Amino acid sequence: MANGWRAAGHDVLLGSRHPKERTDLGLPVAGLDETAAHAEVLVNATPGGVSVDLLRSIGAPALAGTLLIDVGVGLSDDFSALTHPNSSLGELIQEAFPLTPVVKTLCTMDSTTMVAPGDLTEPGTVFLSGDDPDAKATTGRLLTDLGWPASSQLDIGGITTARGQEHFAFLFMGIAGGVGSHTFNIKVVTRP
């Protein structure tokens, strides 16, 4: 995602707990606090089981008012269960940081499809879940910059709908086994 947004002209700064060890990324890297202070938009692409604690280490005041796009899914180490089966990571982040608008997106596909949707044989659908309409509009523009036209973006409602996106992880794994690849997407098709 970072390279895609950088190619689209956005200023990108990656955050790491150990920035001096991440000189291999080809993009600027800073500590988490510095990254949060720098950002107009933050992207949570951390393992879902540690995301809330990691964000808490930055602190709610530092995140307040900053759009947080969440692409994580909390799965057990063996990928057999969700770490939050009656909720979603998106909801848990929004609950922990009520002054931070959270938008869940891009978690129903692999990282290749996230940034190159046009490489698939036909357009797929990317979902947006969140309570803040302005945050979803900004996220939609950023998705467009990654190659997702507005016609492929589907706003499915408030942050509670992130459950559907995250619970898709199990169907994703089944489809990947069936097609022999993780690089695919789903498409919502309606009646004319």
Q: Mind listing the pLDDT tens digit for each residue in 69-80?
A: 999 999 999 999
For residue 153, the cross-strand partners are: 126
- The pair of structure tokens assigned to 189 is 């098709």
pLDDT average, residue stretch 50-62: 95
Query: What's the CA gap between 144 and 82, in Å, rounded?
Result: 29
Q: What global pTM score does this model have?
A: 0.95
14-18, 86-90, 104-108, 166-170, range with the lowest pLDDT: 14-18
Taking CA atoms, 190 is separated from 83, 117, 146, in Å, by 32, 20, 25
pLDDT at 160: 98
Name the residue ranges covered by the structural domains of the chain: 2-179
pLDDT at 21: 87
For residue 41, pLDDT over 90 is answered with yes
Which stretch of DSSP H or E encloses residue 10?
A: none
For residue 23, pLDDT over 90 is answered with no
Quote the mean pLDDT of the chain.
95
State the number of CA atoms in the 13 A half-sphere of 39 facing the CB: 27
Closest by alpha carbon to 93, among 52, 134, 53? 52
Indicate the pLDDT class of residue 140, thresholds 50, 70 and 90. Answer: very high
For residue 24, pLDDT over 90 is answered with no
CB 100 within 8 A of CB 63: yes
pLDDT tens for 154-185 read: 999 999 999 999 999 999 999 999 999 999 99
- The pair of structure tokens assigned to 49 is 């089981």
Nearest-10 Cα torsion for 56, 58, 62, 63:
-50
For residue 22, pLDDT over 90 is answered with no
Class of domain 2-179: alpha beta
